[in-house]
Structure 1
Amino acid sequence: MPFARPANAARGERCDGVENNAEKQEIGRPDGEFTKQQVDYVYQDRRYVGTREVAGYVLWDMAQSFNINTYSQRFVNTILQVSFRYQQILSFINGIWDIVNDIFTAAIVDKTRTRWGKFKPYLVLLAIPGTVGTCLYWLMPLFFPGTGPEDLNKFIVYSVLAILREGIGTFLGIAQGGIITTITPHPVERTRMLTVANFFSGLFGEKLPEQIMTILLDLIGNNVIKPKKGPVSALYLKLFVGMGVFTSVVAGLVSLWFNTIMRERVAQSVKTPSIMQGIRSITNNKPVLLMTLSQILSSFSVGGSRSDYFIDVLNFASLGYITGFPGGLLGPLPFMIVPWFRRHFQSRTLYLASGYIGQVLMVPIFFIGSIGGKKNGLYKNRIVMAVALTIYETIIAFFYGLRKVIPTEMYNESMDYCEWKNGYRTEAMTSVAKGLASKLAGIYTNLLSLQIKRWIKYDQTAYIRGAAQSDSTKYWLFASYAILPLATGFPGIIPMLFYDLSGKKREKMYAELLERRANMAKTASDADRETMAKVADEQMEIGVKNKNKKL
């Protein structure tokens, strides 16, 4: 893979680090200190990625949310109609397959070395199969018209498709997660790209299909739009299938285009790490271990969906757009404040504040909604709940930029820590390790979530018949949305209290890592085979040298 040169190289500016530090100073001095100039370089706004590629990344980021996946569970429950019992069986089988599949996929990806990079080949080659699989998912009701929730043939086809999509999705998920860690070697530019992408994605309608879908569901549910002939279920069927296939095709084409023009600029180690080295790179990576443990504990969080509460209880799917309007007036402010917060607050503080503020604020909303009991509770009152949720949405809107940027950037920094500590990067293995235990917990929570639907006597056929759920079912749909996530997921806070890759430690890591990359790029630019072999050996020896080294 070619070594990255920033865009300002064409203007004659230096792009090998800071001044002549690469020639003046050896990496990893005994005193472990770096000059102010070197540390300042960590915060410089270096530009490696061109305008076309940045625009492509913004469109690609939009494509990841250009879907109606918010309603995928409702689609399976009420349109395709797969029984909760069958879904529990598939959830268990697919969960085990997902874990096994992840391990082998990670090993394959981490050993990938091509002229196009480590992740790009998978994104390009699997874009079309992934899109086709998603289209078939939304088309399934047309293949099994008039079948009930317990139809075995429908369940078998649904299960096979789910397992195939899971296999393709694992390759794509790992590769997508790796792209932002390698598209630029500089942390400031990476944060800038994440911030720009998230801001413009929201500004130009990444959620437009979901918003259109929500409004149409409201219009149909309140008899504003009626079928010209036939039952209302036929109208729901056309809406779900049409929107599902359309968004899948558009998102797939946009993703394929970006995947063909993007470049990976963080050079991987010349030698591929062994599986044991990959495992070791996780066990000696404190940031990853803490984030993984937090994710595991948070994965035991069980809760209902907001869309179920809005549709089945309030019969007002569009309520979220009303309650979110005042927060939307903040415009770019939540993203503009991200760099300032990054410079002045520790990562763990930002992570916890942005990640859990929403769950904490739902506690008073739960108590307000519970006034009056199950039959006459305020949780059924559109006006009261609209006011309460508007205040809630406005407060958490201030944290929106942090919530979109910080978790991703912390993972990216943990990959840079892996490179600093070991001399090589294991994005795939680390990504799988982070998700592995969480998926084990996810098997349990998915089974429990479906069982909760059975316990509260949720009627899968009521929606398309135009019937209502019982008062008891409605109340528990509200409670599972409002209070259950915090009650079951709060232990995830504890590990992040010990996360300390911030401040001086972070500065020192990047000062050394950026200088090491600059020296390596200079050596490799005109190296022969013998020199590259020596570079490869030196990379693998970094882990031994840094075994007991601390920031």
Structure 2
Amino acid sequence: MDENKKYLGKKEIWLYSVAALGQGMMYAIMSGYITDFYLQVLHLGLPFVLILTFVSRFWDAVNDPIVGSIVDRHTTKWGKFKPYVAFSALPMAVLTFLMFFDWGGALDIKAHPEVAVGAMVYATVTYVLWDMAYTVGDVPFWSLPNVMTPNPDERGQLFSLSRTINSIGSAIPTVLFTILFGFAGKLGIKSDGTKYLIIVSFVSILGLALYMISCFAVKERVLIPNMPKEKKDPNEPSVLKRLLQCRPLMLVVTMGILASGRYLMGAASVHVARYAFYIGKSTEGLTPDEINAAVSSSISLVNLVLTGCSAVGMFGTMLLLPRLYKKYDYKTIVVFACLAGFGASLITTVLGVISIVKDVRLLFFFCIPFILVQCVPLGVLNVTSYAMVGDCLDYLEWKTGYRDNALGSACQTFVNKLSNALATGFVIIMYIIIGLDPKDTMANGAVKLVTDLSHIQRVGMFSLVSIVPGLSMLVCAIPVFFYDISGEKKKRITAELAQMRQAKGITIE
């Protein structure tokens, strides 16, 4: 078996990546904006939102290894992974829409507190069901590259492109948010609930159509036969134990958890835009409607700068990764990117704090180049962690003879969801730490300006996209120093693994 053989055509690579774009759209609207929707549209309490988002996402993360274990044990006539994607796609799209249903506009929760319980029940049910549907499809979907090709270099290229396109999909809700919030006055749209309804309708329909492409466009090639039960050694370690004993994989998992602060760049941006900066004309002498329009425009602009820098820094890095992979190993790329991101976050913090304390609004824009560099690790980790997991699965098969694709990939999706839960939870915790309740800022229907908040409150909110992610990048580089699947060792594993498969009569077409 030629370990350098190429198995994927351009059409298959691009169609899988387009499917990843659809998935990214639906995930991004939930992960980036659901807390803002709960707080600003449904007016749900901070403690409730904290408990719901953190507990649900933590439980969802725990479910990933369970789903991975189930998938690994069963192969259907339609394939090992594709059926799960097919059956979960429609429920996920429908639930994405239902999660953003405007109970605030329909039932006027603020005027009738008795209906708040119903809204909380509805939010809980739709949130939990969405998490379940997403998990059933997410683990198999990101396991597909590991069975589409046995070539680690080709697999790395596939992960690089698909994760890049997936991230482009995640930027689409932000673009729609910017348009609707920035031009709300001209469009005659006053309700945030209406804006979200328009965004989620577009995302759900298009996301579903693109996501389903993966069910028809890709081929599962690396299917290692399950060992018959009667031939299994009773002393053989369990699947979970094998993974826990795989040192390289555990290092990648640890790296991902420590890097959870990177998700704040997406999860916290809209909150920072609302409560850290005001970029606009003086509000003196303006009518309430004019003030609302000015505030909405400022929120749109600041959110655009933060998410735009995040997208450009991340996408730009992703586009460079295929070339970097040819010159440097994964370890070197990750460590260098994380240290650079930490350094940039320090400068971002200083400039942002001065802008807030001294009320030098123009200085906010001087943060842009440093936020770009600060987001380089997002692109590196978003792609490279998946490629590293693929190499770890090769290592595991080479060492034990077992290849647990779904459960191994579930480790990465577990890390992503746990990290997202931590990031989302920390956003709500920051509200509590600085003593800021969104309900108070909209008392009696009036919008409280950002400039009316204390410097401590504004700086605290700003830290969510500056020093906190930076520190996370710094500490996540520590376990990577001990990761050793690279260079000659990686080449030797790939070559010997090809020989092992050939000896077992496993043919990969």
**Alpha-carbon displacement from aligned partner over 1:42-91 (angstroms, at most 9, x marks no partner):** xx4x4322343223112112212235343222112111222111123324
Alignment partner of 1:449 is 2:405:
no
Aligned mates of 2:375, 2:52 — CA distance in 1: 36
TM-score (norm 2): 0.80
What corresponds to 2:6 in structure 1?
Answer: 47
Note the 1:54-133 alignment, pairs <5 A: 54-67=13-26, 68-69=29-30, 70-91=32-53, 93-95=55-57, 97-98=59-60, 101-133=63-95
Q: 1:114 is matched by which residue type in structure 2?
A: T
Matching residue of 2:270:
307
Contact 1:371 1:377 in 2 (8 A): yes
1:184 equivalent in structure 2: 149
Q: Which segment is superposed worse, 137-146 or 162-171? A: 137-146
Counterparts of 2:171 and 2:395 in 1: how far apart (Å)? 34
CA contact (8 A) 1:105 1:170 kept: yes
2:239 alignment counterpart: 278
Deviation at 1:300, TM superposition (A): 7.3
Flag structure 1 segments of 5+ consecutive residues without an equivalent. 1-15, 18-40, 526-551
Does the Cα contact within 8 Å between 2:160 and 2:383 map onto a contact in 1?
A: yes
CA distance in 2, matches of 1:245, 1:491: 39
Partner of 1:34: none
In structure 2, the gaps of 5 or more residues are: 279-297
CA contact (8 A) 2:68 2:140 kept: no
What is the match of residue 387 of structure 1? 366
Letter paired with 2:177:
M
Larger radius of gyration: 1
- Residue 499 (str. 1) matches residue 480 (str. 2): no
- 1:240 to 1:351, Cα distance in 2 relative to 1, 3 A: same
2:402 corresponds to which residue?
424
Q: Say if 1:324 and 1:437 are closer, same or farther in 2 by CA, change over 3 A.
A: closer
Instruction: Work out whether 1:353 is the aligned partner of 2:336.
Output: yes
Counterpart of 1:390 in structure 2: which amino acid? P
Match of 1:467 among 448, 465, 477: 448
Name the CA shift for 1:465/1:116 in 2 (closer, same or farther; >3 Å). farther
Give the 3-state SS of the residue equivalent to 2:75 in structure 1. Answer: coil
Secondary structure (helix, strand or coil) at the match of 2:227 reads coil
Distance 1:445 1:396, change over 3 A: closer
Alpha-carbon shift at residue 507 of structure 1 (Å)? 0.6
Which residue identity is paired with 2:224? Q
Aligned to 1:219: 183
CA contact (8 A) 1:58 1:201 kept: yes
> Displacement, 1:361?
0.6
Give the 5 Å matches for 1:114-263: 114-141=76-103, 144-148=106-110, 151-198=116-163, 207-220=171-184, 223-227=185-189, 232=190, 234=191, 236-263=192-219
Match of 1:13 in 2: none
- In the TM superposition, residue 105 of structure 1 has moved relative to its aligned partner by 2.3
Structure 1 range deviating more: 461-470 or 58-67: 461-470
Corresponding letter in the other structure for 2:388: M
What secondary structure does 1:317 align onto? helix
Give me the whole-angstrom Cα distance separating, in 2, the residues matched to 1:66 and 1:392.
Answer: 23
Aligned residue number for residue 407 of structure 1: 385
Contact 1:144 1:154 (8 Å CA) reproduced: no
Is the contact made by 1:139 and 1:245 (CA closer than 8 Å) also made in structure 2?
no
Deviation at 1:442, TM superposition (A): 6.8
The letter for the 2-side match of 1:361 is: A
1:511 matched to 2:488? The reply is no
1:224 CA displacement: 4.5
Distance, in Å, in 1 between the alignment partners of 2:310 and 2:199 is 27
Tell me the secondary structure at the aligned position of residue 469 of structure 2. helix
Whole-angstrom distance in 1 between the partners of 2:367 and 2:203: 33
Partner of 1:292: 253
- Secondary structure of the residue aligned to 2:66 is helix
Q: Counterpart of 2:485 in structure 1: which amino acid?
A: L
Deviations 1:507-541 (A, max 9, x none): 1011111233344456799xxxxxxxxxxxxxxxx
The total of aligned residue pairs comes to 470
Q: 1:142 to 1:51 in 2, by over 3 A?
A: farther
Residue 301 of structure 1 deviates from its aligned partner by 7.9
- The one-letter code matched in structure 1 to 2:172 is L
Deviation at 1:172, TM superposition (A): 1.5
Cα distance, 1:270 vs structure 2: 2.7
Q: Give the aligned partner of residue 284 of structure 2.
A: none
The equivalent residue for 2:290 is none
SS of corresponding position for 1:318: helix
Corresponding letter in the other structure for 2:238: Q
RMSD: 3.6
Task: Please identify, of 304-313 and 475-484, the stretch whose mean Cα deviation from structure 2 is larger.
Answer: 304-313
Letter in structure 1 aligned against 2:501: R
1:288 CA drift (Å): 0.5
